[in-house]
């Protein structure tokens, strides 16, 4: 394969290199070779064509920040689909370029999507790039983003007008429930097509919720129908719009939550309780969810993720966050009330934080010392190990709880939480035990002591926007471990064994 030459021009006239030298043009790269700091640049042999300035999308900026923070140094992105840095040729006879699952939409040039690869070893932390268009070899090429963050996306056989569509993948990887008694299967499925009013989302992350485990095991009274794809804590980028979509655009970073659709017309929807809509569809349960490289969702239910939140954090917030935020809201917690959180895990570690935000005095209850340590680090005022101490006695010794939020799936915990309430206390039931588990409710105690029992399901789209806003403002912290989708069954095993401190987040 012949040498392919690349061009770099400074984003800013006064930009300097790491060594303090004048801005220079990167060397002409060979396929599979990477630019190394300190290498002597080679001047481009052909005159450049005009540059085009584009602005990075929110997802690109988040990827830049993430790599910059993790490496403690500037990062360099390379446009995917080019010959350099081991990527593939971009310019094909069909005038298309490839986009893989690790690519991030950077922006659009003349209506054409422009992507970067977020997983390269080096990248440059600029958020505004010059797109340098220069002739090259017939194989096509892209420019490693040099000191000015430049990219070349054209070869001699391509013209900008012809690079107007992304070569389409036809299949995607997905974790599929085929049978309630069997592990999930990693399968290749056709990439779904967005219908009218829908968007196609390329997933970046997806959290593992206990509901996904219930779905996979079919242990709730209302069961999903195999085969199906679980997942309802999905974060990804809109890649394609269905007909008549006006709420979202290509490149938007969005969340796919449990509430995948509501009618918007019934008494529940119009009164702010869309989560009670009888026509609702639930992601990863009644419709395929986010345990796949791609998913479709109604555009109106694809909630925008703010720039200041990483996709890793946004995933657990999309269910664990919005569910516990809603639980604290329906409990009407007021400052100085005591709030006991039963179950300090994926949901509980966020519930503690929301209770503190509204001024509650918090008690974390769990059976794992490691999770109680986490609760203390997150600001819990008291912790109780229910495996070593009677939680009812321990909480009553503190004066009793004004609010007890149950996030553990053991029915016995609901009884303990109710008994821990002081007069006028509120029990908020969130967890859903398997097999339609039941709790006992003493009528005499409930009536004479003015206690209340409240059922709280996930929050609305507005609630999720609030959750994102709080996190972007630095008011909450997400604790999670990363896994690959191929490890979904082991992740489920680890969650059931209590070996995960808070949340599992699948990285795509």
Please indicate, yes or no, whether residues 284 and 350 belong to a single structural domain of this protein. no
pLDDT at 39: 35
pLDDT at 203: 95
- Within a domain: residue 133? yes
Please indicate, yes or no, whether residues 448 and 368 belong to a single structural domain of this protein. yes
pLDDT at 118: 44
Domain count for the chain, please give it. Answer: 3
330-355 CB burial, b ≥16 within 10 A, e <16 = bbebeeebbbbbbbbbbbbbbbbbbb
Please indicate, yes or no, whether residues 144 and 193 belong to a single structural domain of this protein. no
Please indicate, yes or no, whether residues 177 and 144 belong to a single structural domain of this protein. no
Please indicate, yes or no, whether residues 355 and 389 belong to a single structural domain of this protein. yes
Is residue 312 a contact partner of residue 389, using CB atoms and an 8 Å limit? no
Residue at which a domain ends, from 141, 168, 195: 168
Non-local CB neighbours of 245 within 8 Å, separated by 6+ positions: 194, 197, 198, 199, 299
Cα R_g (the chain), whole angstroms: 26
Please indicate, yes or no, whether residues 119 and 131 belong to a single structural domain of this protein. yes
- Within a domain: residue 465? no
Identify the CATH number of the domain in which residue 394 sits.
3.40.50.720
CA triplet 246, 248, 253: central angle to 5 degrees? 180
Helical ranges in 230-334 per DSSP H: 267-270, 311-316, 322-330
Bridge pairing between strands 234-241 and 198-208: antiparallel
- Within a domain: residue 235? yes
Please indicate, yes or no, whether residues 299 and 188 belong to a single structural domain of this protein. yes
Please indicate, yes or no, whether residues 175 and 91 belong to a single structural domain of this protein. no
Please indicate, yes or no, whether residues 147 and 179 belong to a single structural domain of this protein. no
3-state secondary structure 29-51: CCCCCCCCCCCCCCCCCCCCCCE
Q: How many CB atoms are located within 10 Å of the residue 433 CB?
A: 19
pLDDT at 434: 83
| Digitized pLDDT (tens) for each residue of the chain, 508 residues in all | 222 222 222 222 222 222 222 222 222 222 223 333 333 333 333 333 344 444 555 555 565 566 556 544 433 333 433 333 333 333 333 333 344 445 555 554 444 444 544 443 333 333 444 443 333 333 333 333 333 333 433 333 333 333 333 335 689 999 999 999 999 999 999 999 999 999 999 999 999 999 999 999 999 999 999 999 999 999 999 999 999 999 999 889 999 999 999 999 999 999 999 999 999 999 999 999 999 999 999 999 999 999 889 999 999 999 999 999 999 999 999 999 999 999 999 999 999 999 999 999 999 999 999 999 999 999 999 999 999 999 999 999 999 999 999 999 999 999 999 999 999 999 999 999 887 788 889 999 999 999 999 999 999 999 999 999 999 999 999 999 999 999 999 999 999 998 999 999 999 9
- Within a domain: residue 293? yes
Bridge partners (DSSP) of residue 406 are 342, 429
Residue at which a domain ends, from 109, 136, 168: 168
Please indicate, yes or no, whether residues 177 and 312 belong to a single structural domain of this protein. yes
Q: Which domain holds residue 293?
A: 171-316+479-507
- Within a domain: residue 483? yes
Residue at which a domain ends, from 168, 188, 216: 168
Q: What are phi and psi of 334, to 5 degrees?
A: -115, 160
Identify the CATH number of the domain in which residue 269 sits.
3.90.180.10
Q: Is 365 helix (H, G, I), strand (E, B) or coil?
A: strand
- Within a domain: residue 473? no
Q: Which two tokens stand for residue 336?
A: 């100085």
Please indicate, yes or no, whether residues 146 and 2 belong to a single structural domain of this protein. yes
pLDDT at 51: 41
- Within a domain: residue 464? no
- Within a domain: residue 322? no
Please indicate, yes or no, whether residues 146 and 213 belong to a single structural domain of this protein. no
């Amino acid at each position: 394969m012949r040498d392919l030459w690349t061009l770099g021009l400074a984003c800013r006239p006064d930009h300097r290199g790491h060594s303090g030298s004048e801005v220079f043009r990167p060397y002409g790269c060979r396929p599979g070779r990477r630019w190394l700091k300190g290498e002597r640049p080679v001047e481009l042999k052909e005159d450049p064509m005009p540059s085009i300035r584009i602005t990075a999308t929110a997802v690109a900026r988040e990827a830049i920040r993430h790599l910059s923070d993790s490496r403690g140094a500037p990062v360099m992105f390379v446009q995917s689909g080019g010959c350099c840095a081991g990527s593939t040729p971009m310019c094909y006879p069909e005038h298309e370029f490839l986009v893989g699952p690790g690519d991030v939409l950077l922006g659009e040039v003349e209506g054409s999507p422009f992507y970067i690869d977020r997983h390269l070893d080096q990248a440059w932390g600029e958020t505004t790039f010059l797109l340098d268009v220069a002739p090259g070899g017939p194989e096509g090429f892209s420019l490693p983003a040099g000191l000015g963050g430049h990219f070349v996306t054209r070869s001699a056989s391509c013209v900008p007008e012809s690079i107007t569509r992304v070569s389409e993948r036809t299949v995607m990887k997905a974790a599929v429930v085929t049978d309630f008694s069997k592990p999930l299967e990693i399968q290749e499925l056709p990439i779904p097509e967005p219908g009218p009013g829908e968007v196609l989302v390329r997933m970046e992350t997806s959290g593992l919720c206990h509901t996904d485990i219930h779905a996979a095991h079919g242990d709730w009274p209302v069961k999903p129908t195999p085969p199906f794809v679980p997942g309802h804590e999905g974060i990804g980028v809109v890649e394609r719009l269905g007909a008549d979509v006006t709420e979202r655009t290509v490149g938007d970073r969005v969340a796919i939550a449990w509430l995948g659709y509501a009618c918007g017309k019934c008494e529940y929807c119009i009164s702010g309780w869309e989560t009670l809509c009888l026509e609702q569809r639930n992601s990863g349960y009644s419709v395929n969810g986010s345990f796949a490289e791609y998913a479709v969702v109604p555009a109106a239910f694809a909630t925008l993720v703010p720039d200041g939140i990483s996709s890793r954090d946004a995933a657990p917030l999309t269910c664990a966050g919005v569910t516990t935020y809603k639980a604290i809201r329906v409990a009407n917690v007021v400052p100085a009330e005591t709030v006991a959180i039963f179950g300090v895990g994926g949901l509980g570690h966020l519930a503690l934080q929301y209770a503190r935000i509204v001024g509650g005095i918090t008690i974390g209850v769990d059976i794992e010392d490691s999770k109680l340590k986490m609760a203390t680090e997150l600001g819990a005022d008291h912790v109780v190990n229910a495996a070593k101490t009677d939680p009812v006695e321990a909480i009553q010794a503190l004066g009793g709880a004004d609010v007890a939020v149950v996030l553990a799936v053991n029915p016995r915990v609901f009884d303990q939480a109710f008994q821990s309430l002081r007069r006028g206390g509120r029990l908020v039931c969130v967890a859903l035990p398997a097999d339609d588990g039941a709790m006992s409710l003493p009528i005499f105690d409930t009536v004479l002591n003015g206690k209340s029992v409240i059922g709280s399901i996930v929050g609305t789209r507005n609630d999720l926007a609030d959750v994102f806003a709080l996190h972007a403002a630095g008011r909450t912290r997400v604790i999670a471990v990363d896994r690959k989708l191929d490890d979904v069954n082991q992740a489920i095993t680890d969650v059931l064994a209590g070996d995960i401190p808070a949340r599992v987040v699948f990285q795509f």
